[in-house]
Chain A
Amino acid sequence: MNGIEFPYLGAKWTIGAFGLLHTSVASLAIGVAFVVTVAQIIAYRSRIHRYDQFAKRCQFFHVCIYNVGVVLAIGLIFSLSGLYPQFWSQLFTHFFWPFIVEEFLFFLLATTLTFHYFFWDRMWGHKKLHITLGALLTPMFLLQFYIINGIGSFMLTPGFGESEASLFRGILGWDARAFYNPSFLMLTFHRALANVSYAGFFLAGWCGVQLYLTNDRARKEHYEDCGRLCFYIGFTAFLSLPVIGYFYAHVLMKHASEAFWNLMLGQGDIMVGGVDTWWLKQLLVALMLGSSLGYFRYTLRDPAPFTLPGIMVVSVAVFYLMFYVAMGMVMTWRFFWWMLAAVAGGAALSWHMLSYGRGTARAVYLFLGLLAFMTVVLGGYAREASRPRFVQRFSHYDSVYKPTERQPVLMLPITPEELETVLAPPPPMGPAALIQSECARCHTLDRVRHYPKQDWERVVAQMIVYGARLTTEQAQSVTAHLSAGEPY
Chain B
Amino acid sequence: MEEITYSHIPIATLITAFLLLAPIFEWVGYRKGDLRYDRLAKSMVFFVMILYAPGAALGTGIPMFIMGLYPEFWSRFANLFFWPLIAQFVFFLLDLIFLFFLYYLTWERMMSRKPLHIFFGCMTALFGLLIHAVWDGLGSYMMTPGRDLPMVNEAVGWSAAALFNPTYPFLFLHRFFGNISYSMLLTGGVLALKYLRCKDPEEKEYFGFATDLTFAIGFVTFFAMPFIGWGYAAAIQSNAPVVFHAIMGGHVSPHFTIKMILIGIFLVLGGTYLFVRHPRKVLPLALSAGILSLYLVLHWHPPLDWLGGDPMVWRITYTLLLVGFLIFLWMMRNRRKLTTQAPWPWTLFVAGLAAFFAFALGGFVRSRGRSPYSVYKQIEKPEVTAREADRFLLYDKCLICHLQGPNVFSRYETRDWERRVDRERERPGADISDEEAARIVRILQELYP
* A interacts with B: yes
The residues of A with any CB-CB pair to B shorter than 8 Å are 1-5, 63-64, 66-68, 70-75, 77-79, 81-83, 85-86, 88-89, 92-93, 96, 99-100, 102-103, 106-107, 109-111, 113-114, 118, 173, 400-403, 406, 408-409, 411
User: Quick one: CB contact mask for B83-114 with A, threshold 8 Å, 1 for yes?
Assistant: 00110110011001000110000000000000
Q: Is the CB of A1 within 8 A of B153?
A: yes
Q: Which residue of B lies closest to A95 (CB)?
A: B68
28 contacts between A and B (CB under 8 A): A3-B155, A67-B52, A70-B56, A71-B89, A71-B96, A72-B93, A74-B63, A74-B88, A77-B60, A78-B78, A78-B82, A78-B89, A81-B75, A81-B78, A85-B78, A92-B64, A92-B71, A102-B64, A103-B60, A103-B61, A107-B54, A107-B61, A110-B57, A111-B57, A118-B49, A408-B72, A408-B382, A409-B71
Question: Could you tell me if A70 and B65 are in contact, using CB atoms closer than 8 angstroms?
Answer: no
> Contacting A82 at CB < 8 Å: which of B50, B78, B100, B101?
B78
Min distance, Cβ A6 to any Cβ of chain B, angstroms: 8
Given A4-B79, A400-B152, CB of A81 within 8 Å of CB of B54: no
Mostly, the B contact residues are: helix
- A408, closest chain B residue (CB): B382
A78 to chain B minimum Cβ distance, whole angstroms, is: 4
Q: Are A403 and B151 in contact (CB under 8 A)?
A: yes
**What's the nearest-Cβ distance from chain B to residue A187, in Å?**
21
Closest chain B residue to A402, Cβ basis: B153
Pairwise interchain contact A70-B53, C-beta atoms closer than 8 A: yes
Name the distance in Å between A65's Cβ and chain B's nearest Cβ.
10
Partner of A93 from B46, B50, B71, B100 at Cβ < 8 Å? B71
B59: Cβ under 8 A from any A Cβ: yes
Q: Is the CB of A78 within 8 A of B65?
A: no
Known contacts A85-B152, A96-B68; decide if A68 and B96 are in contact (CB<8 Å). Answer: yes
Closest to B99 in A: A67
| 0 or 1 for each of B29-70: is its CB under 8 Å from A? (1 = yes) | 000000000000000001001101110111111011101110
Q: Mark B391-414, 1 if CB is under 8 A from A, else 0.
A: 000000000000000000000000
Q: Bound complex: CA of A111 vs CA of B60, how far in Å?
A: 14
Q: Of B49, B57, B68, B157, which one neighbours A109 at CB under 8 angstroms?
A: B57
CB-based contact A403/B68 at 8 Å: no
Given contacts A83-B82, A110-B54, A114-B52, 17 further A-B contacts (CB under 8 A): A1-B153, A4-B156, A67-B53, A68-B93, A74-B60, A74-B88, A77-B64, A82-B157, A89-B67, A92-B71, A103-B61, A103-B64, A106-B57, A114-B54, A400-B153, A403-B75, A403-B151
Q: Is the CB of B155 within 8 A of A2?
A: yes
Whole-angstrom distance between the alpha carbons of A405 and B279 in the complex? 69
B175 within 8 A of A: no
Residue of B nearest to A73 (CB): B60
For residue B149, give the distance in angstroms from its CB to the closest CB of chain A: 11
Quick one: closest B residue to A78, CB to CB? B85
Q: Which residues of B have CB within 8 Å of A66?
A: 53
Q: Cβ of A74 and Cβ of B89 under 8 Å apart?
A: yes
Residue B209 lies at the interface, judged by CB distance under 8 Å to chain A? no
Structural contact, B63 and A78, CB atoms closer than 8 A: yes
The residues of A that contact B156 with a CB separation of less than 8 Å are 4
Report if B74 contacts A (CB, 8 A). Answer: yes
User: Which residues of chain B in 346-384 are interfacial with respect to chain A, using CB atoms and an 8 Å cutoff?
Assistant: 382
Instruction: Categorize the interface residue count of chain B.
Output: 35 or more
* Leading 10 A-B pairs by shortest Cβ distance: A82-B82, A96-B68, A110-B53, A75-B89, A85-B75, A89-B71, A110-B57, A81-B78, A78-B85, A103-B61
Contact residues of B between 228 and 242, Cβ < 8 Å to A: none
Q: Quick one: given A70-B60, A408-B382, are A4 and B89 in contact (CB under 8 Å)? A: no
Q: Does B259 contact A (CB under 8 A)?
A: no
CA distance A103 to B58 in the complex (A): 8
Residue in B76, B82, B96, B382 whose CB lies within 8 Å of A67: B96
B72 touches A411 (CB 8 A): yes
Provide the residues of chain A in CB contact with B50, threshold 8 Å.
114, 118
Contacts of A88 in B (CB 8 A): 67, 75
Contact A100 B65, CB 8 Å, known A67-B100, A81-B75: yes
Question: In whole angstroms, what is the CA distance A103 to B151 when docked?
Answer: 28
Q: How far is the CB of A105 from chain B (nearest CB, A)?
A: 9
- Nearest B residue to A6, CB-CB: B86
Whose C-beta in chain A lies nearest to the C-beta of B55?
A: A110
Q: Which residues of B contact A402 (CB under 8 A)?
A: 152-153
Q: Is there contact, CB below 8 Å, between B67 and A74?
A: no
Take A81-B67, A110-B53, A110-B57 as given contacts and tell me if A64 and B100 are in contact as well, using a CB distance cutoff of 8 Å.
Answer: yes
B85 A82 Cβ-Cβ under 8 A: yes
Residues in B with CB closer than 8 Å to A400 are 152-153
For B54, what are the chain A residues with a Cβ–Cβ distance below 8 Å? Answer: 107, 110-111, 114
Among A72, A83, A114, chain B packs the most CB atoms within 10 A around the CB of A114
For B53, the closest partner residue in chain A by CB is A110
Nearest B residue to A409 by beta-carbon distance?
A: B71
Which residue of chain B is the closest to A2 with respect to CB atoms? B155
Q: Name the A residues within 8 Å of B157 (CB-CB).
A: 4, 82
Cα distance, A110 to B56, chains bound together (Å):
9
Complex Cα spacing A113 to B49, Å:
12
Pick from B78, B79, B151 the residue with the most CB of A within 10 Å.
B78
CA distance A85 to B52 in the complex (A): 29
Contacts of B58 in A (CB 8 A): 107
CA distance A480 to B360 in the complex (A): 77
Tell me which residues across on chain A come within 8 A of B155, comparing CB atoms: 2-5
Choose one: A5, A64, A71, A103; the contact of B101 (CB below 8 Å): A64
Are A79 and B71 interface neighbours, CB within 8 A? Answer: no
Q: How far does the alpha carbon of A114 sit from the alpha carbon of B58 in the complex, in Å? A: 14
**Complex CA distance for A297 and B86, rounded to whole angstroms:** 50
Contact partners of B49 in chain A: CB under 8 A: 63, 114, 118
